[in-house]
Amino acid sequence: MVTFVDTVTLHLRAGRGGNGCVSVHREKFKPLGGPDGGKGGDGGDIILVADPQVTTLLSYHHSPHRTGGNGGFGMGDHRSGYDGESLELPVPVGTVVKSVDGDVLHDMIVPGEKYVVAEGGRGGLGNAALASPKRKAPGFALLGTPGQECSVVLELKTVADVALVGYPSAGKSSLIAALSAARPKIADYPFTTLHPNLGVVQAGDSRYTVADVPGLIEGASEGKGLGLEFLRHVERCSALLHVLDCATLEPGRDPLSDLDVILAELGAYEVPEGQIPLLDRPQIVALNKVDVPEARELAEMVRPDIEARGFRVFEISTVAREGLRALSFALAELVDQHRAEVAVEVPRERVVIRPKGAKEEFSIRVEGGTYGNIYRVLGEKPVRWVQQTDFQNEEAVGYLGDRLERLGVETALFKAGAVAGATVMIGTGENSVVFDWEPSIASTAELMGSPRGTDIRIGGSNRRTTAERREQYHEMMDARAAARAELEEKRLASREDEE
């Protein structure tokens, strides 16, 4: 049996960026022509597309795991890798994209609009792009970063002008089939409709959409029957059409009691903030199945009571197509009135481009550990730089250290209380990197609190001053003169002994 699916959880992983290339240009008489490694390709994004031809999320219910294409590796001769293929996922118009925590990320109500739900990774730079006057021939390249991994919840809310509400088997599917070209499943048992059906109705110069949603029973606002699955699809409709069955054979049921139950459930349902409550929206009552003689008598009997409540009432028959034209024009009038009010109340949204202000590029979080404090570096740039570093290459590790120093990480670590040998972690989770911090000589020299011109990180200097070198030179020359004089005395003494 096909189940009604309008909420699914997608597990997404965008494509990984390709690694950069390490290459040196070589040709005849030019064995070392300089670095020419190309950049790796970017990973493919995962994009949601609002497609009017898609009406269900059932395909994502069966296969919720989706992956984007990986980028290609860079190549020599300045050749870049290919970009990974982006994955476009068509979803019905009216799909709300939420995080696992329930936060609304995007509302796809415009046909054809796109939303990048998972961004692909960046391709790594080749050694040609890393060359500089100080590093003329880099022996390393940057790695590609992994694509974004996330889980999102897709919740379908039907976008239509008019919603047909009523008990199961009240004739809603037959009515939408009679008013439009929609062909929903029609049968004589409850809950025949298991997913919303949309139909387009043309009434004179007015065109509007009608939604046939699963039937409503008592307690639907609490989740009974198809409960919330039904009421969720009524939220976006501007008008409601109550379809009442005048030929029901169930004991204890009549059009007035059915209407009371429907109104009670609509009133108990809480719509999202900013939307009009369901009972405050325009409503029309259709007394269906008047082609049956007993049903026509019952419709004529209850009509005055319903009109006394302020509802416009139409007696219709979907089999005999009686009263459908007048009902379609009445619905068109409500829809046109609502569209005119929306056009007046909601002005056209102005597109304002605001430059991004300066934001904190990283932060230091001190965490207590068994063997002392752990200093965790968090931020988009440091984490991305770690992901791009090949830790098997010493030159690449040195390049990472230079980047972190220029960003000011070492100064921030010193201010946070880190000392030489402290445990420092960059990032979180499995991709974090742990190392023992060894501050560079150039970092925070003015903050060390040592006397001017000295640095406590550098041991005592044994270098002689100019005066000390001059004194030691004179002492050495005097010692040499004394040694020569002593040798001369010994030589003269030995000559006198010979004579």
According to the annotation, is 409 in a ligand binding site?
no
According to the annotation, is 104 in a ligand binding site?
no
For the segment 226-231, the average pLDDT, to the nearest whole number, is 52
According to the annotation, is 319 in a ligand binding site?
yes
d(CA 323, CA 285): 12
Using DSSP's 3-state secondary structure scheme, residue 244 falls into: strand
According to the annotation, is 290 in a ligand binding site?
yes
The CA angle 345-113-159, to the nearest 5 degrees, is 55
pLDDT on residue 190: 40
According to the annotation, is 314 in a ligand binding site?
no
What is the DSSP annotation of 434-463?
EEE----TTTTGGGS-PPTT--TTSPPP-P
Per residue, what are the HEC states of the chain? CCCCCCEEEEEEECCCCCCCCCCECCECCECCCCECCCCCCCCCCEEEEECCCCCCCHHHHHCCEEECCCCCCCECCCECCCCCCCEEEEECCCEEEEECCCCEEEEECCCCCEEEEECCCCCCCCHHHHCCCCCCCCCCCCCCCCCCEEEEEEEECCCCCEEEECCCCCCHHHHHHHHCCCCCCCCCCCCCCCCCEEEEEEECCEEEEEEECCCCCCCHHHCCCCHHHHHHCCCCCCEEEEEEECCCCCCCCCHHHHHHHHHHHHHHCCCCCCCCCHHHCCEEEEEECCCCHHHHHHHHHHHHHHHHCCCEEEECECCCCECHHHHHHHHHHHHHHHHHHHHHHCCCCCCCCCCCCCCCCCEEEEEEECCEEEEEEECHHHHHHHHCCCCCCHHHHHHHHHHHHHHCHHHHHHHCCCCCCCEEEECCHHHCEEEECCCCCCCCHHHCCCCCCCCCCCCCCCCCCHHHHHHHHHHHHHHHHHHHHHHHHHHHHHHHHHC
According to the annotation, is 195 in a ligand binding site?
yes
Task: Please write the tens of the pLDDT for every residue from 319-337.
Answer: 888 888 888 898 888 888 8
According to the annotation, is 289 in a ligand binding site?
yes
Task: Please write the tens of the pLDDT for every residue from 422-447.
Answer: 888 998 877 788 888 887 755 544 44
According to the annotation, is 193 in a ligand binding site?
yes
According to the annotation, is 363 in a ligand binding site?
no
pLDDT on residue 84: 95
pLDDT on residue 208: 83
Q: Which residue has the tokens 């790594």?
A: 124
According to the annotation, is 214 in a ligand binding site?
yes
CATH number at 162-345: 3.40.50.300
Answer yes or no: is pLDDT of 367 > 50.
yes
Answer yes or no: is pLDDT of 74 > 70.
yes
Whether 44 contacts 120, CB under 8 Å: yes
For the segment 376-400, the average pLDDT, to the nearest whole number, is 90
According to the annotation, is 288 in a ligand binding site?
yes
pLDDT on residue 419: 85
Answer yes or no: is pLDDT of 107 > 70.
yes
Query: What average pLDDT does the chain have?
Result: 81
For the segment 15-31, the average pLDDT, to the nearest whole number, is 89
Answer yes or no: is pLDDT of 450 > 70.
no
Model confidence band, residue 341 (pLDDT cutoffs 50, 70, 90): confident
The CA angle 303-305-308, to the nearest 5 degrees, is 110
Give domain limits for the chain: 1-156, 162-345, 363-447
pLDDT on residue 42: 95
Answer yes or no: is pLDDT of 226 > 80.
no
- Determine which of 7-11, 141-145, 283-287, 342-346 has the lowest per-residue pLDDT on average: 342-346
Q: So what's the architecture of 1-156 in CATH?
A: Distorted Sandwich (2.70)
Answer yes or no: is pLDDT of 194 > 50.
no
Answer yes or no: is pLDDT of 350 > 90.
no
Backbone angles phi, psi at 227, to 5 degrees: 35, -110
Whether 368 contacts 423, CB under 8 Å: no
Answer yes or no: is pLDDT of 63 > 80.
yes
Answer yes or no: is pLDDT of 496 > 90.
no
According to the annotation, is 261 in a ligand binding site?
no
According to the annotation, is 461 in a ligand binding site?
no
According to the annotation, is 173 in a ligand binding site?
yes
Answer yes or no: is pLDDT of 297 > 80.
yes
> What does the DSSP 8-state code read for residue 66?
E
Q: What does the radius of gyration of the chain's CA atoms come to, in whole angstroms?
A: 40
Task: Please write the tens of the pLDDT for every residue from 137-165.
Answer: 899 999 999 999 999 999 887 777 888 88
The answer to whether the Cα torsion of 398, 404, 407, 410 is positive or negative is negative
Which stretch of DSSP H or E encloses residue 495?
Answer: helix 466-498
According to the annotation, is 373 in a ligand binding site?
no
For the domain made up of 363-447, the CATH class stated in words is: alpha beta
Residue 252: exposure state from Cβ atoms within 10 A (0-12, 13-18, ≥19): exposed
Backbone angles phi, psi at 96, to 5 degrees: -100, 130
